[in-house]
Structure 1
Amino acid sequence: MAGEVSSICSDLIRFDTTNPGSGERPAAEYVAGLLAEAGVEPVVFESARHRTSVVARIPGDSPEALLIHGHLDVVPAEPADWRIHPFSGEITGGCVWGRGAVDMKGTLSMTLALVRDWARRGVRPTRDVVLAFLADEEATGEYGARHAVRRHRELFDGCTEAISESGGYSVEVQGRRVYPIAVGERGTAWMKVTAHGVAGHGSRPAADNAVAELCHALSRLAAHRWPVRLTPGVAALVTSLEEILGERIDRDHLEREAERLGRAGTLFAAQIRNSANPTMLQAGYKVNVIPGTATAHVDGRFLPGYREEFLETIDRLLGPRITREFVNLEEAPSAPLDTPFFARLGAAVVAEDEEARPVPYVMSGGTDAKSFAGIGIRGYGFAPLRLSSDLDYFGMFHGVDERVPVEGLEFGVRVLDRLLTSPAPA
């Protein structure tokens, strides 16, 4: 099991599943083959040509099922920027290198290695386990998780909870190993905004310049200081950090406190307010022509429970002369932390690292958990890794020189094994 997890991770990275690109099919076929070799029957389906996902169910002692989902696609990588080619899957310096090592082929490899080890040992999980290896998470999930829950809902029957990326890894905080376990994430509101004006010659006074109107609106949006909102998940994180650090965190000045606390502060700095960042602009076709329209795209994110406040603020800042439409709108899911399952997630980590301090956490971005929340599955970010303090794990998401420690992968397999096979406490 120990050697296999890194080799599977390396193999998966060698499949170039860049999104947008040629699709996930070769990687999906590889995953399906590994599952079939372990005696697990995979269901392979496509939402479009080569946009391929794989789902499988492993029977357990209880029909109440746990979903473990992850995505096969990755964001683009420019080889010239990397020390080691991003699709080499090279193992060197104790790490597996390449695009997807962190996000999230390393996690997929842990699941696959564990399932294959169970087959060799004849192990049965304590509850049904549904495995989903999905397409298109790095876009909207339309060709992956959304398609799966819409067209293959029966594959997830009995699933009450799910685990996936963006949680369960160690963060060194003042000499202590903190393991954030995600209990929610901000909602997504990707918007196209448009200004309409009067087209005309560029040398004449503009009657109604759409480009200027759009620039003014985007300037208001970019300059807006969103108010701090302390959601239950972040409040629980702050309380946990106070206990770990042995000091009070001033909830009336959380932004300042996040900066003061350094690495500990990064766990909540981006999760205490909504955000809206202009990311794309399109206008005009000739320097001496005032265009009739100008458009921009905005990446909006809102905290759980604050969708309406977010949208009302967006409309006020854009003003009455700017229209908006959603490119992608997804709710902000949240999962309870005062449950036996959340306690079991933390206990599984502590069993492998007695110095671990599990804490609740809210993600600033988004995952396929949003799609599964729509069918009633409570999602947790739990992809366990023990990392060295000098490894910038946050910085490697969509960054260059992405890599994951082999020992971290092996640690994760052991944690998942404990979580899925240990009897629930009485």
Structure 2
Amino acid sequence: MSEVAQICSDLIRFDTTNPGSGERPAAEHVAALLSEAGIEPVVFESASRRTSVVARIPGDSPEALLIHGHLDVVPARPSDWRIHPFSGEISGGCVWGRGAVDMKGTLAMTLALVRDWARRGVRPDRDVVLAFLADEEATGEYGARHAVRHHRELFDGCTDAISESGGYSVEAPGARIYPVAVGERGTAWMRLTATGVAAHGSRPPVDNAVAELCHAMSRIASHPWPVRLTPGVATLIENLSAVLGERIDLDRLEEEARRLGRIGDLFGAQIRNSANPTMLQAGYKVNVVPGTAEGHVDGRFLPGYREEFLETIDRLLGPRVTREFVNLEDAPSAPMDSPFFDRLGAALVAEDPAARPVPYVMSGGTDAKSFAGLGIRGYGFAPLMLTPDLDYFGMFHGVDERVPVEGLEFGVRVLNRLLTTRDSGDLRGAEAPAS
């Protein structure tokens, strides 16, 4: 078994469900793997068992690249899965379990690579800072936010960063598309509150908080958010048209996204803001009208459209429902026309001549939001070659999450090319690591 597959399997067996009992055992395992390779880890906790690990590998240039990933995972109910989600079982050429894609597979690629460097005496072209973080699947308050607030010095010299949700393959006729994320939508998680008059359930309604909140939630859920084509998404669509050899109709983008299937998924959720009601809490007895009702909404807004989003939400809520933020983070972006973006694409093409790298904007969010506050430009780049039958987006937070062993080995080779050669033109000549 390759080292990267074994590390991935071992990491999955640590149940780091968030919320849950914390990331400490997995973090200690990561720190031990780094220490075995002669890399000195810094281990810290933001709260009991909410543990993160950061390490720096010296390179040929003090300018540093940050590779960050999260140790926590979302919940998984074993009865829904074909193979137990915390078994880490390797079956059918894949490593199975919660976190295989999101994102213990990526952590395994990074760990396998730096351990191989240590055995071979390889030095990266610049300092590489590795961050294995807690709490990304919530707000990051116990992970990335804590790290940048209390351990900022660990990220000195970092100008660019790579992490999840980019660099994976999507099959296209005669080519493989590899979206490289150059931005993500902002996050606005909101708690809504309606206040009314408590009363007996048999009386005519006077001021029903539950009804008022439901009306507001319904207005939000049914609102037709307008299409807003940001530069990153516009460039993506232009590139996809070139790869496919056909025009994608900008006036019918929602229909075009459905028509193109998994290729359309690359822009279908990124052409507008969104707000989804997700939770409701009200009342304590069927015959009592409660005085208050609460709900939660997961809001996401495109880069540059935060104010438009909030103004729309306030209009839809009306005067009798208030909002407060559970989490509010701006939409970060990184340049597409940069030498580093070119290097990311060149590393993919060097390992897969059929690769067509394209810029991409994530529909969700990552810890890149926290590191953007330090001026670090974040790219979604967790290189992974998938088999055509695997639905990458469907496995995020879904059931039967799994990652191909060969895909992980591919990712190790791509990362090695990226991190050991300074010039994009030399990426093809990088010595391949043992994965």
Sort the TM-score into its range (normalised by shorter chain).
over 0.9
Alpha-carbon separation, structure 1, partners of 2:408 and 2:189: 34
Q: List aligned pairs for 1:202-281, cutoff 5 A.
A: 202-281=201-280
**1:247 Cα deviation after fit:** 1.3
TM-score in terms of structure 1 length: 0.99
How big is the shift at 1:173? 2.0
- Cα pair 2:66 2:161 within 8 Å, conserved: yes
- Could you say which residue in structure 1 is the equivalent of 2:75? 76
1:345 aligns with 2:344: yes
What does 1:20-419 align with in structure 2 at a 5 Å threshold? 20-419=19-418
Write out per-residue CA displacement over residues 252-304 of structure 1, whole angstroms, 9 at most, x where no aligned residue. 22112212222211110000000000000011111111111111000000000
* C-alpha separation in 2, matches of 1:309 and 1:425: 40
Letter in 2 for 1:296: G
1:176 shift after superposition: 2.1
Give, in whole Å, the separation in 1 of the partners of 2:174 and 2:274: 32
SS in 1 for 2:101: coil
Q: In the TM superposition, what whole-angstrom CA distance separates every residue of 1:5-35 from its partner, at most 9, and x where no partner exists?
A: 0000011011110111110000000000110
- Using the alignment, how far apart are the partners of 1:191 and 1:238 within structure 2? 31
Q: Which runs of 5+ in 2 are unaligned?
A: 426-435
The separation in 1 between residues aligned to 2:214 and 2:263, in whole angstroms, is: 37
Distance of 1:4 and 1:312 partners within structure 2: 51
- Gaps of at least 5 residues in structure 1 are none
Describe the SS at the equivalent of 1:335.
coil
Q: Helix, strand or coil for the counterpart of 2:385?
A: coil
For 2:420, the equivalent position in structure 1 comes to: 421
Secondary structure in 1 matching 2:269: helix
Secondary structure in structure 2 of the residue aligned to 1:271: coil
State the match for 2:431 in structure 1. Answer: none
Amino acid at match of 1:72: L
Paired amino acid for 1:18: T
Distance 1:174 1:296 in 2: 45
Residue 245 of structure 1 deviates from its aligned partner by: 0.9
Report if aligned partners of 2:280, 2:294 keep a CA contact under 8 Å in 1. yes
- What letter is aligned with 1:301? R
Kindly indicate whether the alpha-carbon contact (under 8 Å) linking 1:173 and 1:263 is maintained by their aligned counterparts in 2.
no
Give the Å deviation of 1:424.
2.0
* Equivalence for 2:17: 18
Equivalent position SS for 1:66: strand
Secondary structure class of the residue paired with 2:340? helix
After superposition, what is the alpha-carbon deviation per residue over 1:201-221, rounded to whole angstroms, capped at 9, x for unaligned? 111112111111111111111
The whole-number CA distance in structure 1 between the counterparts of 2:275 and 2:141 is 22
Letter in 2 for 1:406: V
**TM-score, length-scaled by structure 2:** 0.97
Query: Following TM superposition, where does structure 1 have runs of at least 4 consecutive aligned residues deviating by more than 3 angstroms?
Result: none
C-alpha distance in 1, partners of 2:224/2:415?
Answer: 41
Shift of 1:423: 2.4
Residue deviations 1:23-71 (CA, integer Å, cap 9, x gap): 0000000000110111110000000000000000000000000000000
Checking the alignment, whether the CA contact within 8 Å between 1:229 and 1:272 is kept in structure 2 is yes
Count of aligned residue pairs for this structure pair: 425
How far apart, in 1, do the equivalents of 2:257 and 2:88 lie? 35
Q: Conserved in 1, the CA contact under 8 Å of 2:342 and 2:424? A: no
Counterpart position of 2:433: none
| SS of 2:296 mapped into structure 1 | strand
Q: CA deviation at 1:375?
A: 1.1
Q: Deviations over 1:211-241 (max 9, x none)?
A: 1111111111111000000001001100101
Residue pair 1:233, 1:361 contacting (<8 A) in 2 also: yes
Q: Deviations over 1:81-140 (max 9, x none)?
A: 111111111111111111110100000000000000000110000000000000000011
Look up the SS of the partner of 1:47 in the other structure: strand
Aligned residue identity for 2:168: Y
1: CA distance between counterparts of 2:168 and 2:424? 24
SS of the residue corresponding to residue 119 of structure 1 reads helix
Q: Which range moves more in the overlay, 67-76 or 239-248?
A: 239-248
- CA deviation after TM superposition for structure 1 residue 425, in Å: 4.4
SS in 2 for 1:237: helix
2:429 alignment partner in structure 1: none
Once the two structures are TM-superposed, the CA of residue 392 in structure 1 deviates from its matched residue by 1.3
CA offset at residue 175 of structure 1? 4.1
* CA separation of 1:425 and 1:267: change in aligned 2, threshold 3 A: closer
Distance 2:373 2:19 in 1: 25
Q: Identity across aligned pairs (percent)?
A: 84
For residues 133-152 of structure 1, what are the alpha-carbon distances to aligned partners after superposition, in whole Å with 9 as ceiling and x for unaligned? 00000011000000000000
Q: 2:5 is matched by which residue type in structure 1?
A: S
Q: What one-letter code is carried by the residue in structure 2 that aligns with 1:162? A: A
AA paired with 1:393? Y
SS at match of 1:52: strand
What letter is aligned with 2:149? R
